[in-house]
Chain A
Amino acid sequence: MPAKTRYSIFSLVRNAFSYHENWEEAWRSPEPRPEYDVIIVGGGGHGLATAYYLAKEHGITNVAVLEKGWIGGGNTGRNTTVVRSNYLWDESAHLYEHALKLWEGLSQELNFNVMFSQRGLLNLAHSPHEMRGLARRVYALNLNGIDSELLNLEQVRAMCPILNFSPKARYPIYGASLQRRGGVARHDAVAWGYARGADARGVDIIQNCEVTGFQISNGKVHGVETTRGTIRANKVGVVAAGHSSVLADLAGFRLPIQSHPLQAAVSEPVKPILDTVVMSGAVHVYVSQSDKGELVLGAGIDSYNSYSQRGSPKVVEDMFGALVELFPIFSRLKVLRTWGGIVDVCPDASPIIGRTPVEGLYFNCGWGTGGFKATPSSGWVFAHTIANDRPHPLNEAFGLERFSSGHLIDEHGAAAVAH
């Protein structure tokens, strides 16, 4: 595998002399080989990160990533790019904090600018009771060694003066919790960076290749059927987000997952006005401003099951209502576009990462509405799980068996907007 050109100011200048027409491709588009050591189903951020860490941390480079569309074209390119680790329970706090630590070095690690911007993240409280809930979460985070602090009204005002601080507001602001290390990242760049890094280590990234079935005999997986033929592998990792249930069905077992549309929107671009991420569980919106100047906002899921990547206007309308309630200054902004993605929602709002009833078949799913922020650690622990056929201590608690043992990790509250 020829080493990739290192992206730097020097390679940029060098390529400027040839009018940027001679950049090498960031990853190859090989024909699928008949057999691999490991197949990853799903070429989103999580799947590509899994392949990257399989190659880098575990030396397993005979790997294919099969993607039915194009890489990063699903939820990786549809989320609202928020990164944070302020989760209540120990299991999730450690998993998401591991991700945040990986995020902090990711651009250097991948030699690809993922534009990770730790601009801080505010969770607003609109009542004394909500303030107490936030305090509990902040103390729990501090006990886990994760940065988080409580802000009173004046501190919130100093940090984000354009919020609606009127005492006559329908949802008056009492205070907030703040994670200074939280922020946003460029979602496409995460997929591209991991794809380039995995490809450089020998991973085959195969797009337009949909998995249509599994080859399973005696309870063991031997390969997958795809729209581009049969591909053999004794280990298969599935990271298919909204389509996880469909693939589990093909493999012959059930998941506690429901697929719902989750919608998001961007406004027309404006000059810098919002330099942090603001979330409110009570009025149900989260918003940040992209480097292009658009406000990026999202809310909760549509209530019904769907695979259509679109939801109802009612949910979008509620989201804009919440935004304008919090930020009256945004009321005359125009909406540039809205869209939906299909998220895999688990009963306890926590992911499922681990082995399945089929030997050699591993699932990483159930990230629901908040998977983007976990991309690095999701791939990291899933690679470990596949390579060693057992979970890493970070994802031990996230197995499918928790639904029969009763050890649920209920993160509905800590998910910061009520799902």
Chain B
Amino acid sequence: MLLIPCPFCGPRDESEFGCGGEAHIARPTDTDRLSDADWAAYLFMRKNPKGVHLERWVHRLGCRRWFNLARSTVSHEILAVYKMGDPPPASVAGQEARRT
């Protein structure tokens, strides 16, 4: 069971949270010129690293706010928590196991 440090409420049990998948996916702005392959990349292709994963979580049964989390998909260790819109902290930014 994960003990997730909500940036607003502090450490809480995983059962209070919902996992929203990969973080930092930006919706393309030039949608009228986007190819089918680019749409597929935006809609469906996902990082699935064996290592550090940057992901979004929501404190569903708490403050109901979204935030970002850096977590190892091997050990489940939570390496950093940061707010929506913020870039990943320098300590984990370089650790992402894989390119896009």
Contact = CB atoms under 8 A, between A and B. Distances in A.
Interface of A: 243, 245-246, 249, 254-259, 303-308, 312-314, 347, 403-406
B95 interface: no
Contacts of B75: 308
A256 B2 CA distance: 25
B73 A403 contact: no
Contacts of A312: 1-2, 14
16 contacts: A246-B50, A254-B45, A254-B46, A255-B48, A256-B45, A258-B48, A259-B73, A304-B19, A304-B55, A304-B73, A308-B73, A308-B75, A314-B15, A347-B44, A404-B36, A404-B37
Contacts of B43: 347, 403
A313 B74 contact: no
Interface in B1-38: 1-2, 14-15, 18-19, 21, 36-37
A245 B48 contact: yes
Contact of A255 (B19, B36, B45): B45
Interface residues of B, number: 29
Contact of B48 (A259, A308, A313, A403): A259
Contacts of A304: 2, 19, 55, 71, 73
Contact of B36 (A246, A259, A405): A405
Contacts of A303: 18-19
B4 to A, nearest CB: 10
A249 B51 CA distance: 13
B59 interface: no
A403 B14 contact: no
Given A303-B19, A305-B73, A314 B14 contact: yes
Contacts of B2: 304, 312
B71 A308 contact: no
A403 B1 CA distance: 33
A258 B40 contact: no
A404 B40 contact: yes
A241 to B, nearest CB: 12
B44 to A, nearest CB: 4
Interface string B58-74: 00000000000001011
Nearest to B53: A305
B55 A305 contact: yes
Q: Which of B36, B55, B73 has the most CB of A within 10 A?
A: B73
B33 to A, nearest CB: 15
B77 to A, nearest CB: 10
Contact of A313 (B1, B18, B40, B71): B1
A403 B55 contact: no
B90 interface: no
A332 B48 CA distance: 40
In the A-B complex, the 4 residue pairs with the smallest Cβ-Cβ separation, listed nearest first, are A245-B48, A256-B44, A404-B40, A303-B19
A307 B71 CA distance: 12
A257 B46 contact: yes
Nearest to A313: B1
Contacts of B37: 404
Contacts of B99: 249
Nearest to B38: A404
B98 A249 contact: yes
Contacts of B19: 303-304
A403 B50 contact: no
Contacts of B73: 259, 304-308
A304 B75 CA distance: 13
B76 A306 contact: yes
A403 B71 CA distance: 28
Nearest to B50: A307
